[in-house]
Structure 1
């Protein structure tokens, strides 16, 4: 895996926005044709192979560092299992925030509308995904990681302020971040079967959710004032920053049997991992730029998590 660092996003015309009800009708039809029940689709009783990674090794925060080269194959597999469990637990945490936002957003809307009905369908999907993520970490025999306590508590407060374009932009960005990792996980035969199947289900169903969120962001930012765009940029970038920072809990290194201080420093300075994030996140950043959500102080936050 040799990622090439893309050029920073440049302002481009905003993507076209289709009719809200028309989009919802198409997404509802897609949901009816292709949805999954993880309790059935995932073989939760299958053995956990001792020689399979928890996630694509090139996505490990230590891959490409001297510390990674010193580790035995067993240590690398153990580390990636802990990293996979951390990613799943953060995905679960954010799914819960996402469901709260969607339910608040449709609370006062016409429940006969297809838009509201797809939002409720998405909530049902996210409920299944949350259980799926929880079961995946449990099946690998890993701790229930989640974000660090400060971010977890902040999420409880911040979730109550999820509103409008910022809410949908934040949801879309977080889902895209998971999506860019899981597209690699699901194709990689070196990876644990449970991780691959969970990733496949999430990627296929999240494609609809991302489409829904992208169009809502574009729709709700049409005609936005410069002041509002500036506020939305910072809000969205702040969410992305904390989601990215939360993906790998610091305790994964201790639990994998590594020197935590050394591992954290190796991960912090790992240019290979930074390049993987930057390359894989280019689609997300190009979209955010196209709707005016990249600029000013937000660029500082995106650079700190290596998306720019």
Structure 2
């Protein structure tokens, strides 16, 4: 028993944790979407509509952006959102393996177990939805680099507890902020607005679950474990965020790739948008005790702080 009399299992799972999972299950039962029905896949794409709000383009505000034609800007944003969706599919496949491995042989009578499987079902639908959106826009499959793919293979095999859920939360939190803008963007393709709305609603439950799992796993954790988990989560963030927009998107619209990358790295607007998309995540990591000096240095190098 805890000090407050709450029933506790050996690994710290409490009835309060079960209550959170049950509320998330109830929410999923009441508010879930079928992308096959909710998205108008047959509608033609307006050639004037962007793939994402221009402000979220990696080149927005740069000299190169000002030199680009309007057609190039539109096509670039479609490739950028396609790259982000491809990264989303890649990471959702990692996420599903992490959650399945975490729930292996767990008590299937618990709400935590049932919601974990509900989350996996959601992620399967999301990946299919993203793949279909990329196909509709004519965007190729943007894959992570081989070193990143192999590092991720190790992460999905070895990461456990708060480190696994920390990596999950990083990907979900940053994309959530972006998509909340995209789903309201009047200049954004309707299929992107619709897929963003679905993802935002359903991922809000996944983020609550990940935050709860992180808090639970860190109960009673010592300083060495917290230090290692903080650093590991930051490394995962670096891998995920640097893989979101593939450099091949610039070649796809006829731009010089090296110049484009240089302007992205120097863009103060881009750095500000990264800080905006990371604010909630960084606040939570601080509250959870997953910010230390090595982690902060990594987040600063990513312009998340």
Shared fold (TM-score greater than 0.5)?
Answer: yes
**Does structure 1 retain, via aligned residues, the 8 Å contact 2:250–2:256?**
yes
Kindly report the root-mean-square deviation, in angstroms, between the aligned alpha carbons of the 2 structures.
1.1
Residue 301 of structure 1: which of 282, 289, 298 is its match?
A: 298
Task: Look up the SS of the partner of 1:257 in the other structure.
Answer: coil
Post-superposition CA distance 1:135-194 (Å, at most 9, x none): 111110011003222212221222111200111111111100111111110010111111
Q: Would you say how many aligned residue pairs link Structure 1 and Structure 2?
A: 292
Q: For 1:1-308, what aligned pairs fall within 5 Å after superposition?
A: 19-308=16-305
User: Within 1, Cα distance between the matches of 2:54 and 2:205?
Assistant: 28
TM-score by length of 2: 0.94
User: Within 2, Cα distance between the matches of 1:138 and 1:76?
Assistant: 19
Displaced runs of 4+ in structure 1, greater than 6 A? Answer: none
Higher relative contact order (CA 8 A, sep 6+): 1
Task: Look up the SS of the partner of 2:293 in the other structure.
Answer: coil
1:296, CA displacement in angstroms? Answer: 1.7
User: Within 2, Cα distance between the matches of 1:180 and 1:102?
Assistant: 23
User: Within 2, Cα distance between the matches of 1:186 and 1:26?
Assistant: 25
User: Within 2, Cα distance between the matches of 1:155 and 1:218?
Assistant: 24
Post-superposition CA distance 1:257-287 (Å, at most 9, x none): 1111111111111110110110231111000
1:18, CA displacement in angstroms? Answer: 7.5
**Does structure 1 retain, via aligned residues, the 8 Å contact 2:175–2:277?**
no
**Does structure 2 retain, via aligned residues, the 8 Å contact 1:18–1:215?**
no
TM-score by length of 1: 0.93
User: Within 1, Cα distance between the matches of 2:258 and 2:21?
Assistant: 48
1:23, CA displacement in angstroms? Answer: 0.8
Task: Look up the SS of the partner of 1:281 in the other structure.
Answer: helix
**Does structure 2 retain, via aligned residues, the 8 Å contact 1:278–1:306?**
yes
